[in-house]
A and B are shown apart, each in its own frame.
Chain A
Amino acid sequence: MRNLLKSEIRKVIYTKSFYGYLAGAIFLALLASFPAAYSIHALKSQLDGASLMDPQLVAGVYGKAISGYLFTMILGIALIGNEYQSGQIVSTFLATPQRFKVLIAKLVVAACAGIFIMVISTLVGFGGAYLGLSHYPHATAGLSIFLNLLLAAVISGAVISIMGVAIGALVRNVKVAQVGAIIWLFVVEKLIVVFWATGGKFLPSGLIVGMLNVHIDLKSSERFLNISTTNYFGVGASIALMLAYATVFAFIGSWITLRRDVD
């Protein structure tokens, strides 16, 4: 297993796209976190009760630092999907024909790479949020948001990249899988949260908010501006559900990989 892990780590660090995903995650984290305080301040009149005096809302601004998780899913998809697409999987399976071992190594390395990307991008995003909030001296949040952010970065980095590996094993076309993942995370999940708030808490993005332990309830005449996380799961339940997601997706990925012939 040590040899396999070494090989899988090389596949990640030798590939330029890994550094691209890291840069992308940092960019997204900054894009979401830095202007968040200004956006809330600017929309204050439309958002009933929105004030940066509210520590929960300030924590929500810091929470935006975790927005780069999309790239961990893209990384997971690429890790296995590109191998099938390029034919590299042939040499992988020739070196280790026990496919279950290969998949375990891939999942472990994907999880570690995902954690790396998320921790770095979240820390940078946290810095961005801090800078954005520095214009509002009365805006403060407790230390707990920083710790919750780190915890959520670790769990989401591992789980979402594992989900990506499973999706990459399932969908043969890497680009289709990656575009599908972007549409799901950026559009479908957001629409579900807006139109079916109770369902939103079960989604990965809802569980990430749950891990942050941020409780916000903002009402607006514009429905898409409504934000309510008050009924989201607590930290423990969110972690448990995220791990359940990882288990189910890892099982799906293994099942497909074990059954699939190499074209």
Chain B
Amino acid sequence: MSIIEFRGLTKAYKDVVAVNNLTARVEAGRITGFLGPNGAGKSTTLKCLLSLATPNSGSGLIHGAPYQALVNPMRQVGAVIESGGYNPSLSAIRNLEIIAAAAGIPDARALEVLELVELLDVAPKKVKEFSLGMKQRLSLATALLGDPEILVLDEPSNGLDPIGIAWLRTFLKNLAHDGRTILISSHQLAEMQNTVDDVLIIHKGKLITEGSMLDVIGTGTLEEAFIRLVEAS
């Protein structure tokens, strides 16, 4: 059963078409890698899905409805978007309390999610003093505030060191094990091969393949399949 769906999604900025008639589905209870080179349109697609950007045509749907139409969306969808989501002058806990209030989530949950991402010790610290890895963990904590069944993660491993990447891999696997659906964009192919069940690959805004990891890579690696598909498109 598909839980996230893109139907002919097109988004252009002036003369540049960032996403071109994208149609794809994300199945429930699986980790789906949303892959593509830099500038392929991954972030734009996810922003359209989350109603942060308005498509020129088509739509991105969650449970068959646009994100804007979801009732209490943070309890259904948790998201990590590249541009952040917090006030750097405030502490981690204050940032989470602000978001929790908007979503009608009790403040106690902010401490719980900080513990989940192993940031409880630095909860009173200002976000501007955080390393990139800590900021990524805080973004994940934000996404988990509403304990959602769906996670949409845009490049969550950006800026993480190898230990951080290994931590993220285990963390995502545990989340998926709980039955969550995860859509994760990345261009770190080796890492994705170890993490995701299904892949969507886009290039220059167009979908070039979708399917299970095994179907897409065959007997080779994800990187080999990716380069072959991108060059052929």
Contacts and interface: CB of A to CB of B under 8 A. Distances in A.
A-B interaction: yes
A7 B89 contact: no
B83 A263 contact: yes
B67 interface: yes
A42 interface: no
Interface stretch (A58-66, A82-90, A157-165, A167-175): A82-90
B107 to A, nearest CB: 10
B144 to A, nearest CB: 13
A53 B193 CA distance: 86
Nearest to B87: A88
The secondary-structure label for the interface of chain A is helix
Nearest to B47: A262
A97 B88 contact: no
A94 B88 CA distance: 18
A11 B87 contact: yes
A16 B91 CA distance: 12
Interface in A212-263: 259, 261-263
Nearest to A90: B85
Q: For the side of the interface on B, what is the size category?
A: 20 to 34
A4 B105 CA distance: 11
B102 A14 contact: no
A104 to B, nearest CB: 13
B89 A90 contact: no
B81 A90 contact: yes
Given A93-B51, A94-B73, A11 B79 contact: no
A91 B86 contact: yes
A29 B86 CA distance: 33
Interface string A1-25: 0011011001100111100000000
A96 B99 CA distance: 10
Nearest to A14: B94
A7 B81 CA distance: 20
A262 B87 contact: no
A75 to B, nearest CB: 15
Given A87-B86, A91-B86, A10 B104 contact: no
Interface residues of A, number: 28
Contacts of A262: 47, 52-53, 81, 83
Interface in A75-114: 82-83, 86-88, 90-98
Nearest to A4: B102
Contacts of B90: 14-15
A90 B53 contact: no
Contacts of B50: 93-94, 97
A7 B84 contact: no
Contact of A95 (B52, B86, B94, B99): B99
B163 interface: no
A83 B98 CA distance: 12
B146 to A, nearest CB: 9
A3 to B, nearest CB: 5
B95 to A, nearest CB: 8
B142 A91 contact: yes
Interface string B48-89: 001111100000000000011010011001010101111111
Given A88-B84, A95-B74, A261-B54, A16 B102 contact: no
Interface string B85-124: 1111110001101110111100000000000000000000
A88 B81 CA distance: 11
A87 B81 CA distance: 9
Given A86-B86, A88-B85, A95 B102 contact: yes
Contacts of A93: 50-52
Contact of B53 (A17, A95, A98, A261): A261
29 contacts: A7-B102, A10-B94, A14-B98, A15-B89, A83-B87, A86-B87, A87-B83, A87-B85, A88-B84, A88-B85, A88-B95, A90-B85, A91-B85, A91-B95, A91-B142, A92-B102, A93-B51, A94-B77, A94-B79, A95-B73, A96-B102, A96-B103, A97-B51, A98-B68, A259-B54, A261-B52, A261-B54, A262-B81, A263-B83
Interface of B: 47, 50-54, 67-68, 70, 73-74, 77, 79, 81, 83-90, 94-95, 97-99, 101-104, 142
Which 9 interchain pairs have the tightest Cβ spacing? A87-B84, A7-B102, A91-B85, A95-B102, A7-B101, A261-B53, A87-B83, A262-B52, A90-B85
